[in-house]
Amino acid sequence: MTVNDIPLISTREQLAEVVREIGFLPFFASGIKGFSLKDHIDPAVWFVDGVDGPWEWKTDVGVYGKLFRGKAVFMTPEWYAILACYRRDGYDFEGMYEDGLVPHGAVSIMAELEKGAAPGIFPEDDLALLPMPGMGVLSTDLRVRTGMTDKASGFDNIINLLQMKCFILPTSFEYSIDRHGRPYGWGLARYSLSDSKYKPLIDAAEAKYSPAEAKELLIAHVSKLCPDATGKQIERLIK
C-alpha cells in the first residue's frame, strides 16, 4: 500500500486498520503530500462539535505521540521500537543526559514518571499528587512535582524532546466534565515511560539493528509508502 491507496477514514476501526497496514501515519500535514491522517479523513469527523473523531481516538490506535518533527503520529508498536532504536542512538537515558543530549529538567521528569501517580483530574487535595507505581502522571501533576510550573522552565519543550527521543509517551487524555456529564476541552495528557510497556520490543530492535540500520529501515519504508517524496523530505520527516 502507498499513501495513494489509503481509503477515506471515517471510524476508529478504519484508522486502526490503516495504521496496522502501513506502520505509521502522521496526524497533521507531514511535509510529504498525502502522508497524513488529515489528507485521508472524512470531513464529517474532522474536529466537528459533538462528533467523536481522530482527536478522541488518538490513544486507542497503536502508539501515539509527538514522534516526527515534534508532531503527532500514529504508529504500530513494532515500528515504534525501530524508531526508538534510531532515536536513542545506542544510549540509555542516563548516558544521553551525561553527554549533554537532554537538558537537566528531563531528569526530574523521568524520575517522577518512574514513580507513577495517583489517578484523577483536577485534584482537590495533595493526595492526588502522591506516587502510585504503574500509572502514568497527569501533566498538571507532573509540572507540580517537578517544580516546572512556569513557561521559563521549558516543561513543554522537554516533554516534546523526550517523546522524540522515544523515552515517554502520552498514554491517555483526561477531560473536564460539563454539568450534563459530557467531556469537553482538549484534554490533559497522562504521560508514562515508554519502557514500561514497550521495553521488550525496543530491546529486541536494538539487539537486531544498529541505529544507522534502523534509520535506513525508516527511510526505505517511507520511500515505499510515499513514492513521490524526495530523500530530503524523508530525512527531514524522520530526523
Mean of per-residue pLDDT scores for the chain: 90
Cell of 177: 466534565
DSSP state of 6: P
Are 82 and 97 in contact by the 8 Å Cβ rule? The answer is no
Give dist(CA 3, CA 224) in Å, integer: 9
pLDDT at site 91: 98
Cβ-proximal residues to 122 (8 Å cutoff; 6+ apart), any chain: 140, 176
Which residues share a beta bridge with 172? 190
Helices (H) and strands (E) in the chain, counts: 10, 6
- The alpha carbon dihedral of 10, 11, 13, 19 has a sign of positive
Are 201 and 80 in contact by the 8 Å Cβ rule? The answer is yes
Short-list 176, 216, 169, 172, CA closest to 197: 169
Cβ-proximal residues to 190 (8 Å cutoff; 6+ apart), any chain: 117, 135, 136, 137, 138, 139, 170, 171, 172, 173, 174
Q: Give the three-class secondary structure for 26.
A: strand
What are 164-207's pLDDT values in tens digits? 999 999 998 887 676 777 666 678 899 999 999 999 999 999 99
Q: In what order do the strands lie in the sheet with 168-177?
A: 137-138, 183-193, 168-177
pLDDT at site 116: 77
pLDDT at site 102: 97
Tally of CB atoms within 10 A around 17: 14
pLDDT at site 233: 97
203-213 burial code (b ≥16 CB/10 A, e <16): eebbeebebee
- Cα 44 → chain centroid: 25
Q: Residue 131 above 50 pLDDT?
A: no
What are 48-96's pLDDT values in tens digits? 988 889 998 988 899 999 999 999 999 999 999 999 999 999 999 999 9
